[in-house]
Amino acid sequence: MKYSYYPGCAQHGTAIDQRISVEAVFKRLGIELEEIKNWNCCGALHVDDRTTRIALSARTLAGAKGLDIATPCNLCYSNLMRANTALEESALKTMINGALTNKYEGNTKPKHLLEVVVNDFGLGKLAEQIKKPLKIKAVPYYGCLLTRPENKFDSPENPKSLDNLIAALGADPVKYYYKTKCCGGPILLTNEDLALQLAKDLLVMAKETGADCMVVTCPMCHLQLDAKQKAVEAKFNMKIEMPIIYFTQLIGLSMGIPPKELGLDKHLVSTDKFIAKVGR
Amino acid sequence: MAENKEPLVNETPQKETPSKIEIAPRKIGVYLCRCGGNISDVVDLQSVAESLKGENVTVNIQDYLCSSAGQDKIKSDIEKGKIDRVVIGSCSPKLHLETFRGMAKKAGANPTLLEITNIREQASWVHDKEGKESVNSKVKGLIKGAVARMGSIEPLVPLEKKLVDRTLVVGGGIAGITTALEIADDHEVILIEKQPYLGGHMIGLSKTFPTMDCSQCILTPKMVAVHNHSGITMHTQTEVAEVKGSPGDYSITLKHSPRYVDIKKCISCGACTRKCHTGAIFLPFAQAVPQAYMIDVSKCDRCGACVTICPRDAVNLDAKEEISTISVGAVAIATGFEPIDPSFIEEYNYPAPNLLTAVEFEDMLSAKSKTGMRLQKADGSFPDRVAFVLCAGSRDFTGKGRKHCSKVCCIYSQKQAQLVKKMKADAQAWIFYIDMRSAGRRFEEFYHHTQEKGVNYVRGKVAEIIPKQDGTLMVQYEDTNLGRKGREIFDMVVLCPALIPSAGTKELADKLGVPLGDDGFIEEKHVKLDPVNTLNQAAFAAGCVLGPKDIHDSVTEGMSAAHKVSQFLGKGMILIPPEKPMILECNGCGDCVKACPYNALSLSEGKAVLSPLACTGCGICVPACPIKGIEIRNFTRNQLKAQLKAMLEDAPGVVVFIDPYAYAAADIAGVNRKQYSSLVRFISLPSIHVLDGDVVNAAFEYGATGVMLIEGTTDEKLTSRSDDLYKKLKKDTRKHKKPLRYSHIETAQYEKLTDLLNVFASQAGAKAEKKSKKEKGEEASEEKV
């Protein structure tokens, strides 16, 4: 299995832990990720102009050279998907291609790494790689952009793929009604009060389920829920202490990969208790 | 008048058939209806009339042909001897054919010599976006075809068959109970119910709006009356397994699930329940009719304590499913509704603790209550804050839910809100609605009264319902009156689910040849004027199987259906369409006998003979006969050819042979103004199986650019052979290299029908154009687009 890989900016900054775990896990699963040369930012949620936003992604899509393009980030994924759909309109494609050195032929399909693992690799095959079933309870948290706008991968209201993955690793995916609610990440800089309120809602609901960790699929969610968890605790005067784990880290743990090789030591909310519970 | 004959019968020589000999001189009158503009705004009827100049017919145009003035005109023309055959161009024959034929009979003409060409549902209503030219040319073709056909058909007299004076009522809810009771004084009734007791959904209701009287108080006497009526045989836990025979004379197989307690023996003393250690044997509820215990086998460990203790020997743990066969003349369908399962609405997160459907809410407060008629949360306490969420799965055009309005939810949710307030004055009841629909006598007053009780109304759809760890539910919503979003915590949320036809409606309807609408409810014979009849003259319907409605309306329909059943059975006879096979030539090979799916043909002294009462007129025997010795009366090869030739003479088109069930779909398309190509020319047949290569080849020869066969029947005896028919026709008509297609379209699938017609018409058109280019070269092809 081989994919063209679009890591997105976070992998080189705040999500270094995710990057380490992706490398460790995908190498062992035998899924080859070939990083696109000279890729650029997807525009995240900050580029207002539609054409510019699509053009940013079009350049990346062209770089995939016809391979399916995999990405670990929900924002990147959502932008690539939206651009790919918009570029089916030939007038727009012609216009944008006019500005690109490498032309985009409409011949690639963006996939989130979760989709690569769950659908392409398959949970059955993944189960064979498990050395240590995880006897824990985990919150499946998808974030707002993984299944939106509506795509063929999973349901926008009640997605199941991450639940299924958690169950396949031997853990118990708890019922969590905020699966696809916004974590507040994108407005952290512009409206911190609201951003922390949104994160608090998610964390409190996760805490109430009695889960051992919250599993995320997106570096932006991780930043908000992990790095800003202390800020939430301070603002609302409460203790949460909820470990926020990338789904790739969870897979890695079940495969018996040492926590350090998964970047679990780089979290701001301590993962020690969680790792102890998983067992060494 | 004999000169009429020549132009109408055309050059194709008629086979020597009895029909030829019997044909009297024809005096055909053509009557076109403007339908108050419904037709004449689109079709230029004057030019249609003018186009008939050479046909030797009298033509007359009326504003409303169905009015007394219109009918009187035809009647007096017949009485004066001006005409003896009638072609009408108007709305669908499904609406007024019987009316007009009744009039013709009174005037002294043979009713079969009056036919209707549908130029409203199949022309003016579906082609009004196309150019007038093409619609006019279509209508001219249709009327010319109809005139040619009228000139070639023979007068027939309907056959009579004795009716079985007994009715099957399917469904023991309020509609079925009413129907049964209303019929039973005059005609014998068999009432079957799927559940172990009568009462349907109504027995599961608490109070009934708008009077707030108790449901079981008004229903129980009726259930007892059914039980005690000597004219009603009642079977619970019973369903229809198979339907054989024909309207007026059905043989129906019933399937009875085991109750394990003999209803006749059980005196409901309750000794068994006291002995049972698993709680498997129980009385469904105190007022249940029949009053008899039953066993839930999933709980029973077969210890046998109940068998031993029963003083009446009523318990039999080895009871098996049983089958019985009944003979009935008519069937009344009252199978009601069921609530849609709202778990498909992912954002509502149903099911969850304290998140109920309105049906579950009612259950708690009804005769069937398991909480002692107490409203309570999962933890047993009273809910202080209750939300009602309307339109859960109804009025949904996204394709996920149902499009229709469930009609009763606005009022019953207010009733439920009143009950909450009545049980606890300081409790809060919120109703989230899109539109508050309180149309109907006493309902607006009820709405007003509920407002006065202090129920809180929020106009806006609920966005999501989030169950919390502590058993409360968070409701996020938009208040469109205040223009803001909101979020409230409730102790209980009641979803008012879309009401849909009960499971098994389609299977039963298919067995009886009754079409359903695209919403799954039974299609009335006429939506306004024949609301409890169906397209099967011996099948009637009442209650929610015709669409969601309240008790009052279900009772009204039950009474109507009973009246219609009594009227039908009261005649003692049923008229059977006389369009049956005639055996003109027979070499005794027996192929037709083998082909007939209804055992209506047999060999006697080396010749095929028909039992007309067993025959459904499907026409499978026609192509089956190797010497072409069988024809269906008034649908003979030559009659069809005459119609085709005249229809296509002036302008080519796509010929669509269509059976009555699919014809009904085309009518619904018309009522819904679904546009399709005006090249489409329907030819109505009793079934597409009368066709053979002769007729289809003739259609191509006379200029059809394509031929479609559209079948709507759900009778497997026919549909299982359609594929072979299609392949055979394809082979036999290959030389024309023109498109031929078969499709199965049930009555409800009118949208699929129009899509198909459009696609096929454009394919056929493109192919014809290509061909004509090839044949005639560039110049000729330019005009022929």
* Residues in chain A closer than 8 A to B466 (CB atoms): 177-178
User: Is B699:B647 a contact under the CB 8 Å cutoff?
Assistant: no
The reported pLDDT for the residue numbered B768 is 78
Q: Are B35 and B64 in contact (CB under 8 A)?
A: yes
Please state, in angstroms and rounded to a whole number, the distance separating the CA atoms of residues B650 and B139.
11
Cis-peptide into B290, omega within 30 deg? yes
Say how many Å lie between the first and final Cα of chain B, rounded: 40
Mutate to test the interface with A, among B343, B344, B346, B472 (most CBs of A within 10 A): B346
The percentage of residues in chain A with a pLDDT greater than 90, rounded to a whole number, is 89
Q: What is the pLDDT of residue B777?
A: 60
pLDDT digits (tens, 9 = 90+) for B38-84: 999 999 999 999 999 888 899 999 999 999 999 999 999 999 999 99
State the DSSP code for B533.
B
| pLDDT < 70: residue spans in chain B | 1-25, 775-785
Kindly report the CATH number that applies to the domain delimited by A123-278: 3.40.50.11810
Question: Cβ A158–B468 below 8 Å, yes or no?
Answer: no
Q: Is the omega angle on the peptide bond into residue A149 within 30 degrees of 0, that is, cis?
A: yes
CA B310 to chain centre: 47
The count of CB pairs under 8 A between chains A and B is 13
For an interface test with A, the pick among B344, B355, B466 (most A C-beta atoms closer than 10 Å) comes out as B466
Residue burial B2-36, b: 16+ Cβ < 10 Å; e: rest: eebeeebbbeeebeebebeeebeebbbbbbbbbbe
C-beta atoms surrounding B613 within 10 Å? 16
Residue B149 and residue A142: Cα distance in Å, rounded?
68
Residue A155 has its nearest CB partner, among B346, B466, B467, at: B346
* Rama region for B120: left / alpha / beta (φ>0; ψ in -120 to 50; rest): alpha
Whether the CB-CB separation of B179 and B542 falls below 8 Å is answered with: yes
Residues whose CB is less than 8 angstroms from the CB of residue A228 and which lie 6 or more positions away in sequence, other chains included: A188, A195, A196, A199
Residues of B with Cβ-Cβ distance to A177 under 8 angstroms: 349, 466-467
Q: Give whole-number Cα distances, A255 to A15, A114, A258, A275, B397, in Å.
A: 21, 16, 9, 14, 46
Strand pairing category for A69-71 and A110-112? parallel
d(CA A280, CA A173): 21
DSSP letter for B181, please: H
In chain B, whose CA is at the least distance from the CA of A180? B347
Residue in chain B closest to A156 (alpha carbons) equals B346
- Tokens 């699963």 correspond to A29
Pair B418, B453: CB distance under 8 Å: yes
pTM, 2 dp: 0.79
Residue range(s) in chain A whose domain bears CATH number 1.20.1050.140: 2-112
B25 prior amide bond cis, ω within 30: no
A233–chain B nearest CA distance, Å: 20
Nearest-angstrom CA–CA distance, A2 and B530: 66
Q: Do B349 and A177 touch (CB under 8 A)?
A: yes
Q: Read out DSSP for A58-116?
A: HHHHHHTTTS-EEES-HHHHHHHHHHHHHTTSHHHHHHHHHH-SSPP-S---EEEHHHI
Average pLDDT over residues A4-15: 93
Strands B607-610 and B462-467: unpaired
In this model, does residue A148 exceed pLDDT 90? no
- Contact list, B469 vs chain A (CB under 8 Å): 208-209
Beta strands in B456-533 (DSSP E): 456-459, 462-467, 473-479, 484-490, 492-497, 499-501
Return the amino acid letter for B239: E
Q: What is the distance in angstroms between the Cα of B465 and the nearest Cα belonging to chain A?
A: 9
Instruction: Count the helices and strands in chain A (H runs, E runs).
Output: 12, 8
Judge: B466–A155 Cβ closer than 8 Å, yes or no. Answer: no
Contact call for B347 and A158, based on CB within 8 A: yes
pLDDT band at A151 (very low <50, low <70, confident <90, very high): confident
pLDDT of residue B18: 44
Model confidence at A44, pLDDT cuts 50, 70, 90, reads confident
Cβ contact, residue pair B469, A157, below 8 Å: no
pLDDT tens-digit readout, A188-238: 999 999 999 999 999 999 999 999 999 999 999 999 999 999 999 999 999
Domain with CATH 3.40.50.11810 in chain A: 123-278
Contact call for B346 and A177, based on CB within 8 A: no
By C-alpha distance, the chain A residue nearest B468 is: A205
- Residue B7 has a pLDDT of 37
Tell me phi and psi for residue A29, to 5 degrees: -80, -10
Q: Which domains does chain B have, with CATH numbers?
A: 1-157 (3.40.50), 166-333+509-570 (3.50.50.60), 338-399+411-500 (3.50.50.60), 580-632 (3.30.70.20), 652-785 (3.40.50)
Distance from CA of A8 to the nearest CA of B (A): 31
**pLDDT (tens digit per residue) in B527-541:** 888 999 998 899 999
Q: One-letter amino acid identity for B555?
A: V
Query: Which pLDDT score is estimated for A280?
Result: 54
Minimal C-alpha gap between B387 and chain A (Å)? 19
Q: Does A194 touch chain B (CB under 8 A)?
A: no
Q: Does domain A2-112 have CATH number 1.20.1050.140?
A: yes
Contact B462, B490 (CB under 8 A): no
**Cβ pair B654, B708 in contact under 8 A:** yes
Q: CA-CA distances (angstroms) from residue A254 to A131, A262, A274, B249, B450?
A: 6, 11, 13, 69, 58
State which amino acid sits at residue B398: T
From A209's Cα to the closest Cα of chain B, the distance in A is 7
**B499: helix, coil or strand?**
strand
- Which chain A residue has the Cα nearest residue B344? A158
